[in-house]
């Protein structure tokens, strides 16, 4: 109990020096998560130095689901102490647990990274809440792979962890189906919770008749001791041991010793779009007048070393549209 009080006190310390133009970012995940790092960079690039961004990380990728409500309550207490002009909620867990409460409190709120349907969460009924939808282009990404791998691409293995974000993304993009036909390509979508299951599915992919692997989310996979795996370790193992070329849906999964690339979502774009909405509200716009919007529709990101390893070449017409990791 004493440790809990000390921890809470430490979390509340920044509130002692809050300023009139402070904004509060409540992260569903944690600072070490590459997605968070990317959208935070986007937020700062747009907000500039005139607005200080306080932060609270709920850490839901690493904590068990039964602890998420307690983390939301800790975030709420931090909000009450810091008294920001506006709150930014990042990703589904924070939005689901805090958006309605912030609206009832009378605080303008901008969300980002929402995979879920806003109507299912009742967000359209919250006049002080608006934000940025995250709509990974799963199906279009699969179509684009045909231009890279060629006509021999017939079957694709898509792997996700068992986190709620993965479940929502699959529901919204694939109608909650685990087998999906995208043009001439057949995609099998699997959610797994254990790293050894993930390893087995990757290792056996070619034997099972797959031509390419697409890495979804993997940050909540657990080892044999039920400890959350380090995401970079999962990614490096997958890139090294996959018998078929690995591609990705998100920017943080692409690079040397990672996935080859793909048409991916960038967290930075989400952050920039959310910051733009926040600035409009701070300038006097009502959140209810700003319809929730999708961010930019993906960008091509590839690793030169990854393409070389798998002896793949990008079509000429893509080259002037591609961002490179190296």
- Write the pLDDT tens digit of every residue in 33-46: 999 999 999 999 99
Compute, in degrees rounded to 10, the torsion defined by CA atoms 302, 32, 270, 68: 130
Q: How many residues does the chain have?
A: 326
pLDDT for 119 beyond 70: yes
Average pLDDT (173-177) is 85
Confidence at residue 4, expressed as pLDDT on a 0 to 100 scale:
43
Which structure tokens are listed for 81?
A: 């102490």
The CA distances from residue 219 to 57, 194, 222, 262, in Å, are 16, 11, 9, 19
Confidence at residue 113, expressed as pLDDT on a 0 to 100 scale:
95
The closest alpha carbon to 275, from 51, 63, 92, 68, belongs to: 51
Which structure tokens are listed for 64?
A: 């068990």
Query: Which fold does the domain 2-134+267-294 belong to in CATH?
Result: Rossmann fold (3.40.50)
pLDDT bucket at 49, cuts 50 / 70 / 90? confident
Confidence at residue 20, expressed as pLDDT on a 0 to 100 scale:
52
- Which residue ranges does the chain devote to CATH 3.40.50.2300? 2-134+267-294, 138-264+299-324
Which structure tokens are listed for 34?
A: 């590459």
pLDDT bucket at 50, cuts 50 / 70 / 90? confident
pTM of the full structure? 0.88
Measured distance CA(291)–CA(309) in Å, rounded: 44
Contact criterion met (CB below 8 Å) for 61 and 30? yes
pLDDT for 204 beyond 70: yes
pLDDT for 296 beyond 90: no
Query: Which fold does the domain 138-264+299-324 belong to in CATH?
Result: Rossmann fold (3.40.50)
pLDDT for 17 beyond 60: no
Confidence at residue 19, expressed as pLDDT on a 0 to 100 scale:
56
Confidence at residue 115, expressed as pLDDT on a 0 to 100 scale:
92
Average pLDDT, the chain: 92
Measured distance CA(206)–CA(50) in Å, rounded: 53
Confidence at residue 16, expressed as pLDDT on a 0 to 100 scale:
40
* Angle, CA of 261, 263 and 265, to the nearest 5°: 100
Which structure tokens are listed for 47?
A: 């907000």
Confidence at residue 1, expressed as pLDDT on a 0 to 100 scale:
43
Q: How many CB atoms lie within 10 A of CB 268?
A: 21
pLDDT bucket at 10, cuts 50 / 70 / 90? very low
Confidence at residue 12, expressed as pLDDT on a 0 to 100 scale:
43
Measured distance CA(26)–CA(55) in Å, rounded: 6
Q: How many CB atoms lie within 10 A of CB 257?
A: 14
pLDDT for 173 beyond 90: no
Confidence at residue 65, expressed as pLDDT on a 0 to 100 scale:
92
pLDDT for 2 beyond 60: no
């Amino acid at each position: 109990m004493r440790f809990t009080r000390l921890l809470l006190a430490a979390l509340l310390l920044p509130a002692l020096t809050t300023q009139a133009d402070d904004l509060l970012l409540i992260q569903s995940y944690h600072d070490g998560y590459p997605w968070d790092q990317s959208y935070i960079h986007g937020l700062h690039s747009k907000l500039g130095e005139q607005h200080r961004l306080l932060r609270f990380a709920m850490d839901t990728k690493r904590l068990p689901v039964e602890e998420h409500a307690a983390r939301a309550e800790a975030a709420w207490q931090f909000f009450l102490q810091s008294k920001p002009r506006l709150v930014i909620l990042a990703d589904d867990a924070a939005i689901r647990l805090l958006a309605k409460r912030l609206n009832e409190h009378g605080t303008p709120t901008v969300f980002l990274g929402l995979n879920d349907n806003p109507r299912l969460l009742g967000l359209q009924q919250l006049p002080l809440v608006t934000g940025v939808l995250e709509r990974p282009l799963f199906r279009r990404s699969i179509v684009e792979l045909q231009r890279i791998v060629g006509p021999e691409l017939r079957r694709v293995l898509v792997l996700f962890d068992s986190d709620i974000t993965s479940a929502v993304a699959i529901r919204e993009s694939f109608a909650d189906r685990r087998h999906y036909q995208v043009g001439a390509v057949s995609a099998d979508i699997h959610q797994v919770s254990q790293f050894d299951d993930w390893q087995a599915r990757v290792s056996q992919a070619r034997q099972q008749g797959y031509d390419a692997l697409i890495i979804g989310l993997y940050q909540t996979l657990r080892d044999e001791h039920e400890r959350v795996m380090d995401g970079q370790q999962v990614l490096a193992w997958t890139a090294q041991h996959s018998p078929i070329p690995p591609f990705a849906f998100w920017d943080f999964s692409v690079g040397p010793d990672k996935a080859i690339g793909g048409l991916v979502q960038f967290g930075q774009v989400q952050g920039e779009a959310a910051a733009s909405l926040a600035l409009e509200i701070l300038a006097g716009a009502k959140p209810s007048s700003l319809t929730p919007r999708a961010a930019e529709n993906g960008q091509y990101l590839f690793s030169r070393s990854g393409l070389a390893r798998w002896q793949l070449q990008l079509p000429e017409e893509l080259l002037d549209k591609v961002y490179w990791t190296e």
